Amino acid sequence: MAEMPVIDREKCDGCGLCISVCHCNILVLVDNVVTVVENKKCASCNRWCAQCELICPTGAISCPFEVVIEER
């Protein structure tokens, strides 16, 4: 399974902004805390859009990435 955005349940205040910007509809609120549901569309993307991380007011959701140098 492709890696999904990481959620810090303690920081999430359930505002739902991330859900409103998610293109792939992989985020839902469960007990007022955002939760990731597996979705083939998101898993098949070859890049993070990271909109959820950018909009989250409490920094509760993140899309971590590694920086690499392309081999030539």
Partner 1 sequence: MAVQVELLKSIPYFSGLSAAELDSIKEFVFEKEVETGEMILLEDEPAEALYFVTSGAVRVFKTSSDGKEQILSFIRPGESFNDVPVFDGGPNLASAQAVGPVVLYGIRNSDIEVILRSHPQVSLNVTRVLSQQTRRLVSLVEDLSFRQVIARVAKILLEYASDGTGPKLRLTHQEMAAMAGTAREMVGRSLKSLENEGAIRLERQRIVITDKEALREMAGVVD
Interacting residue ranges for partner 1, rule: CB under 8 A: 2-3, 45-48, 50, 53-54, 59, 62-70
Minimal distance in Å, beta carbon 16 to partner 1?
Answer: 18
Q: Of 31 and 70, which CB lies nearer to partner 1 in the complex structure?
A: 70
Q: Do 22 and 52 meet the contact criterion of CB atoms below 8 Å apart?
A: yes
**47 to each of 13, 25, 41, 69, how far by Cα in Å?**
27, 16, 11, 17
Closer to partner 1 by CB, 31 or 46: give it: 46
User: Are 56 and 14 spatial neighbours (Cβ–Cβ below 8 Å)?
Assistant: no
Between 31 and 68, name the residue whose CB sits nearer to partner 1: 68
